[in-house]
Amino acid sequence: MKEKIYTLPVTDAFAVECECPLCVLEKKLEEESVEYALGPALMEPDKRQETNELGFCRTHFEAMYNKQSNRLGLALMIDTFLQEKNKAMKKLYDSKAEALNKDASTGLVKNLSNKLSSKQTDTEKLVAELVSQLDNIEKSCAICRKLEHTMDRYIDVVFHLYFKEPDFREKFHSKKGFCLKHLKLLLSSTKKYLNANETAIFTKNLMELQLANMDRIEKEVDWFTKKFDYRYNDAPWGNSKDAVIRSIQKIRGNSDLK
């Protein structure tokens, strides 16, 4: 198989012995993205605008803070993010403050009447808009968005190699399947990248590989539990000593398990 610069990350990930090669690929991308966010991105106006808008999820805030490599840079991103979000929240609240005071002074009879009416009060409208704004903050993350975009490109590479490179297809079939998150990603991406015939071939081969390995990991976990029974004290562990860790990774993908 002739390697190209855009295929190397994929083929390198599929060369690793693991429960999910796409987790290997995603973890490397994530580490690089955290480094980038704390380094070069701080000096790029378009990237700062993006982090001001999106911020970071809890996982990636933790990753950046725990690196302890650029606390000032992290603080600067938090500062400008909070400035923007505080300004937007205050603007929304101020726009409805008068109506909020009016609703707060409404009498009991009027309140009961409003409860019976399908018409939304100004307070209810404000609450709905605030919840929507907070929901957007909770769900947005500059690193997650970058990972999603880049992983989508690599899924395209996986499909390309699978149907164009017999060596890669053989390597694909030799793996232990995928975590459930990346199994879903592969299946959902067939609609975007494959025709009907390719989708049928790929889905058949993928699911046969996946089901066999889901059965394998379940049996390894089952044997792990049996090893706590005195009747199996002298029986060999086989591949089950780390079965709990690998099974969690199989179910949920990359996990920071100690």
Mean pLDDT of the 236-241 span: 94
Mark whether 41 and 98 lie in a shared domain.
yes
Mark whether 106 and 194 lie in a shared domain.
no
Under DSSP, the state recorded for 242 is T
Mark whether 30 and 133 lie in a shared domain.
yes
Residue ending a domain, choose from 143, 176, 191: 143
Tokens standing for 141?
């993350």
pLDDT tens digits, one per residue of 26-35: 999 999 999 9
pLDDT tens digits, one per residue of 38-56: 999 999 999 999 999 999 9
Work out the angle between the directed axes of helices 243-252 and 180-193 (0-180°, nearest 10): 30
> Does some domain include residue 1?
no
Under DSSP, the state recorded for 120 is P
- Return the H-helix or E-strand segment holding 47: helix 45-54
Mark whether 38 and 131 lie in a shared domain.
yes
Mark whether 36 and 132 lie in a shared domain.
yes
Give the span between the Cα atoms of 150 and 221, in whole angstroms.
33
| pLDDT-derived band at 112, boundaries 50, 70, 90 | low
% of the chain beyond a pLDDT of 90:
84
**What's the structural domain count of the chain?**
2
Residue ending a domain, choose from 115, 143, 171: 143
Mark whether 129 and 62 lie in a shared domain.
yes
- Determine the structural domain holding residue 102 and report its residue range: 23-143
